[in-house]
Amino acid sequence: MLLYFLVYQFFHNYCPFTSVFPFIYDIVYSINIMNTFDNTITVGIVGAGAMGSLFTFLLHPHATVVMYETNELTVNDIKKNGLSIEYDTQIHTINPVISNHPGILAHADCIFIFVKSFATKSAIEAIKPYIKSDAIIITLQNGIGNVPIIQSMATNPLVYGTTTIGATRLTAAKVRFGGEGQIIIGGDSYRHNSFLYSLLQKAGLQVTITQNPDKALWEKAIVNAAINPLGAILEVPNGALLYHDYIKDIMRNIIMEAADVGLAQGIDIRGNDMIITTFQVCTNTKNNYCSMLQDISAKRITEIDYINGAIIKTAMHYGIATPYNATVYRLVKYKELLL
């Protein structure tokens, strides 16, 4: 470990060809990071919803984790009662550091954005004056459009991708783990990707680094487009969507439409492969209630505009018909009117 540190310091401070061979520098940096992870790393979590709370629980043994949440009632509840995670049939309670002031993120080395897509802009506006310029921003959010919003507002390093891990928010301070899943990440440098990869692996999570995170975003959006609106409309957990051929047929058509739109956008997506993937996600998270249903049940606005809505908007640009996506979109928007 000392050898890694000394080599890293040499490259970092003295070696003139790090600018010529940045890849070598990135490798040495990554080796150093992988061998020095401990609680000196500070992780920021923006949003104390289901995923933000779950990742706080998973990461807290391996880093100092701080949470930023705008809802004062949620902040006070977690401060008073702790954050409880129902995981593997057991209840685990931790007491994370949490605040409704973005200054809590001032010392964070990396910051996960776990707010809803419609709140991404306001979240970045709030935290930008307080975070370090070299803090890595990470988004694993649902939907299409979060990455360009973040890139247009912050110059920080950005790692982005997707996760199929499931979680259900039971109360403001209690979350149920909904099922194992994969995390796919990519970003602006090998160094930043490796930093995050190491952190997530330490937490026991399945992580893959991809050269094409935009494809991963589209694939996740297609999975969400098939599962989330139907789960919200029918008010059933993910696994129940596979019980009847009628529903599976609707899912297939939603997926094939969205895959055609992705191809028009230049994303190499195969509809039949996405059908298999989506059905597998339903199986893996069979007990999980999708985030869109959780939002409807809690009388909150959903992310439908950033999932099926974004697919429909992109399809219109290319003159592609998306009747199945349009139908479930309208039905969810109607349910929002009833909130």
Catalytic residue positions? 220
* Cα 12 to chain centroid, rounded: 31
Q: Are 153 and 123 in contact (CB under 8 A)?
A: no
